[in-house]
Structure 1
Amino acid sequence: MNSDKTNQIWIYDTTLRDGAQREGLSLSLEDKLRIARKLDKMGIPFIEGGWPGANPKDVQFFWQLKEEPLTQAEVVAFCSTRRPNISAAEDPMLQAILAAGTRSVTIFGKSWDLHVTEGLKTSLEENIEMIRDTIEYLRSQGRRVFYDAEHWFDGYKQNPDYAMQTLESAIAAGAEWVILCDTNGGTLPHEISQIVKNVVTAISQFPISNSQFPTPQIGIHTHNDSDAAVANAIAAVMEGARMVQGTINGYGERCGNANLCSVIPNLQLKLGYSCIQDEQLAQLTEASRLISEIVNLAPDEYAPFVGRSAFAHKGGIHVSAVERNPFTYEHIQPQQVGNLRRIVVSDQAGLSNILAKARSFGIDLDKGDPACRDILRRLKELENEGFQFEAAEASFDLLMREALGQREQMFELKGFQVHCDIVQNANALATVKVAVNGKDILEAAEGNGPVSALDEALRKALVNFYPEIAAFYLTDYKVRILDSGAGTAAKTRVLVESSNGHQRWATVGVSSNILEASYQAVVEGIEYGLLLGARRNDRRNPSPTKI
Structure 2
Amino acid sequence: MTNSITIFDTTLRDGTQGEGISLTAEDKVKIALKLDSLGVHYIEGGNPGSNGKDIEFFRRIRQMNLTSKLTAFGSTRRKNSVCEQDINLKHLTESGAQAATLVGKTWDFHVHTALQTTLEENLAMIQESLAYVRSRGMEALFDAEHFFDGYKANPDYALATLAKAKEAGAEWIVLCDTNGGTLPTEIHEIVSRVVSAIDAPIGIHTHNDCELAVANTLAAVAAGARQVQGTINGYGERCGNANLCSILPNLQLKMGYRAVRDDQLKMLTSVARYVSELANAHLPVNQPYVGNAAFAHKGGIHVSAILKDSKTYEHIPPELVGNKQRVLVSELAGQSNILSKAQEIGLDVNAEQLKSREVIDRIKELEHQGYQFEGADASLELLLRDAYGDTQQVFTVESFKMIVEKTAAGMLSEAIVKINVGGQQVYTVAEGNGPVNALDNALRKALVQFYPDINHIHLTDYKVRVLGGKDATAAKVRVLMESTDFKDTWNTVGVSSNVIEASWEALVDSIRYALLGMVKKNDVESETPRESLGLVNF
TM-score (norm 2): 0.93
Q: Which residue pairs with 1:311 in the alignment? A: 295
The amino acid across from 1:169 in the alignment is K
The 1-side partners of 2:485 and 2:216 are apart by: 41
The 2-side partners of 1:179 and 1:537 are apart by: 60
Q: Which residue pairs with 1:118 in the alignment? A: 113
1:465/1:545 contact within 8 Å kept: no
2:230/2:243 contact within 8 Å kept: yes
Q: Which residue pairs with 1:341 in the alignment? A: 325
1:329 and 2:313 aligned: yes
| Correspondent of 1:181 among 169, 176, 182 | 176
Q: What secondary structure is seen at the aligned counterpart in 2 of 1:108?
A: strand
The 1-side partners of 2:354 and 2:254 are apart by: 44
1:526 and 2:511 aligned: yes
Q: Which residue pairs with 2:501 in the alignment? A: 516
The 1-side partners of 2:521 and 2:293 are apart by: 26
The 1-side partners of 2:10 and 2:28 are apart by: 11
1:465/1:544 contact within 8 Å kept: no
Q: Which residue pairs with 1:94 in the alignment? A: 89
The structure-2 alpha-carbon separation of the partners of 1:168 and 1:544, relative to structure 1 and needing over 3 Å to count, comes to farther
Q: What secondary structure is seen at the aligned counterpart in 2 of 1:390?
A: coil
The 1-side partners of 2:45 and 2:382 are apart by: 46
The 2-side partners of 1:385 and 1:356 are apart by: 24
Equivalences for residues 128-139 of structure 1 within 5 A: 128-139=123-134
The amino acid across from 1:11 in the alignment is I
The amino acid across from 2:459 in the alignment is L
The amino acid across from 1:45 in the alignment is H
Shift in Å, 1:479? 2.2
The 1-side partners of 2:208 and 2:483 are apart by: 33
The structure-2 alpha-carbon separation of the partners of 1:533 and 1:161, relative to structure 1 and needing over 3 Å to count, comes to farther
Shift in Å, 1:271? 0.6
The amino acid across from 2:73 in the alignment is F
Q: What secondary structure is seen at the aligned counterpart in 1 of 2:374?
A: helix
- The more displaced of 235-244 and 188-197 is 188-197
2:34/2:271 contact within 8 Å kept: yes
1:76 and 2:76 aligned: no
The amino acid across from 2:39 in the alignment is G
| Correspondent of 1:32 among 28, 35, 56 | 28
- The more displaced of 250-259 and 409-418 is 409-418
The structure-2 alpha-carbon separation of the partners of 1:268 and 1:92, relative to structure 1 and needing over 3 Å to count, comes to same
Q: Which residue pairs with 2:6 in the alignment? A: 10
Q: Which residue pairs with 2:38 in the alignment? A: 42
The 2-side partners of 1:381 and 1:307 are apart by: 29
Shift in Å, 1:465? 2.8
The amino acid across from 2:21 in the alignment is L
Q: Deviations over 1:172-203 (max 9, x none)?
A: 11111011111111111111111111111121
1:411/1:434 contact within 8 Å kept: no
The structure-2 alpha-carbon separation of the partners of 1:442 and 1:238, relative to structure 1 and needing over 3 Å to count, comes to same
The 2-side partners of 1:428 and 1:347 are apart by: 40
Q: Deviations over 1:404-447 (max 9, x none)?
A: 2222222333213152759965x662414132422323132322
Equivalences for residues 416-427 of structure 1 within 5 A: 416-417=401-402, 419=404, 421=406
The 2-side partners of 1:538 and 1:34 are apart by: 40
| Correspondent of 2:17 among 18, 21, 25 | 21
Q: Deviations over 1:494-518 (max 9, x none)?
A: 1111122222211111111122112
Q: Deviations over 1:433-492 (max 9, x none)?
A: 132422323132322x54344434433443333222222222222222222222222121
2:392/2:516 contact within 8 Å kept: no
Stretches of structure 1 that go unaligned for 5 or more consecutive residues are 205-215
| Correspondent of 2:202 among 218, 222, 234 | 218
1:474/1:497 contact within 8 Å kept: yes
Q: Which residue pairs with 1:237 in the alignment? A: 221
The amino acid across from 1:190 in the alignment is T
The 1-side partners of 2:335 and 2:143 are apart by: 55
The 2-side partners of 1:171 and 1:56 are apart by: 32
Q: Deviations over 1:327-354 (max 9, x none)?
A: 1100000100111111110111111110
The structure-2 alpha-carbon separation of the partners of 1:95 and 1:544, relative to structure 1 and needing over 3 Å to count, comes to farther
The 2-side partners of 1:386 and 1:106 are apart by: 53
Q: What secondary structure is seen at the aligned counterpart in 2 of 1:286?
A: helix
The structure-2 alpha-carbon separation of the partners of 1:164 and 1:505, relative to structure 1 and needing over 3 Å to count, comes to same
| Correspondent of 1:489 among 474, 494, 507 | 474
Identical amino acids, percent of aligned pairs: 52
Q: What secondary structure is seen at the aligned counterpart in 2 of 1:507?
A: strand
The 1-side partners of 2:286 and 2:57 are apart by: 33
Q: Which residue pairs with 1:62 in the alignment? A: 58
The 2-side partners of 1:98 and 1:544 are apart by: 69
1:155 and 2:150 aligned: yes
The structure-2 alpha-carbon separation of the partners of 1:544 and 1:7, relative to structure 1 and needing over 3 Å to count, comes to farther
| Correspondent of 1:459 among 422, 444, 449 | 444
1:193 and 2:185 aligned: no
2:394/2:512 contact within 8 Å kept: yes
Equivalences for residues 153-302 of structure 1 within 5 A: 153-204=148-199, 216-302=200-286
Q: What secondary structure is seen at the aligned counterpart in 1 of 2:158?
A: helix
Shift in Å, 1:536? 5.7
1:466/1:544 contact within 8 Å kept: no
Q: What secondary structure is seen at the aligned counterpart in 2 of 1:416?
A: strand
Q: Deviations over 1:369-419 (max 9, x none)?
A: 343233222112111211111121111100011112222222333213152
Q: What secondary structure is seen at the aligned counterpart in 2 of 1:94?
A: helix
The 1-side partners of 2:118 and 2:406 are apart by: 65
1:116/1:124 contact within 8 Å kept: yes
2:426/2:446 contact within 8 Å kept: no
- The more displaced of 523-532 and 355-364 is 523-532
Stretches of structure 2 that go unaligned for 5 or more consecutive residues are none
The 2-side partners of 1:86 and 1:464 are apart by: 75
| Correspondent of 2:431 among 431, 445, 460 | 445
The 2-side partners of 1:319 and 1:167 are apart by: 53
Q: Let me know the Cα RMSD of the aligned residues.
A: 2.1
1:498 and 2:498 aligned: no
The 2-side partners of 1:266 and 1:420 are apart by: 59
The 1-side partners of 2:2 and 2:520 are apart by: 49
The 2-side partners of 1:433 and 1:351 are apart by: 39
Q: Which residue pairs with 2:492 in the alignment? A: 507
The 1-side partners of 2:405 and 2:486 are apart by: 29
The 2-side partners of 1:535 and 1:526 are apart by: 14
The amino acid across from 2:378 in the alignment is A
The structure-2 alpha-carbon separation of the partners of 1:418 and 1:177, relative to structure 1 and needing over 3 Å to count, comes to farther
Q: What secondary structure is seen at the aligned counterpart in 1 of 2:103?
A: strand
1:314/1:353 contact within 8 Å kept: yes
TM-score (norm 1): 0.92
Q: Deviations over 1:500-544 (max 9, x none)?
A: 222221111111112211211122122212334445667499787
The amino acid across from 1:87 in the alignment is V
- The more displaced of 412-421 and 144-153 is 412-421
The structure-2 alpha-carbon separation of the partners of 1:298 and 1:423, relative to structure 1 and needing over 3 Å to count, comes to farther
